[in-house]
Amino acid sequence: ESIYAMGKNNMDQIDTESAIQYWVEASEDDLKSASEIITKTKGYIQGLFFLHLSLEKLLKAYFVTCLCT
């Protein structure tokens, strides 16, 4: 079930930690992609797109942290 579909009181700590870990790891992957695109291909617009995705996923991890802990 989606983290957004569950109420704060219905979510246990393990599910919250898993959601946070998922968003942080996904963010790290996108940051790595952004770095490789920019350094290897000089594709700044494409690299900035992946950087944007990385930051968005970190914000989601922060949101889950604030909402559920």
Complete DSSP assignment for 8-68:
GGG--HHHHHHHHHHHHHHHHHHHHHHHHIIIII--HHHHHHHHHHHHHHHHHHHHHHHHH
Q: Is the per-residue pLDDT at 11 higher than 90?
A: no
Residue 6 in this model has a pLDDT that exceeds 50: no
Contact 34, 54 (CB under 8 A): yes
Residue 1 has pLDDT above 50, yes or no: no
51 in helix, strand or coil? helix
Q: Is the pTM of this model over 0.85?
A: no
Q: What would the pLDDT profile of 28-65 be if each residue is shown by its tens digit?
A: 999 999 999 999 999 999 999 999 999 999 999 999 99
Q: What is the pLDDT of residue 12?
A: 52
User: CA–CA separation, 48 vs 69, rounded Å?
Assistant: 31
Give the DSSP letter of residue 5. Answer: T
**pLDDT(10) > 80:** no
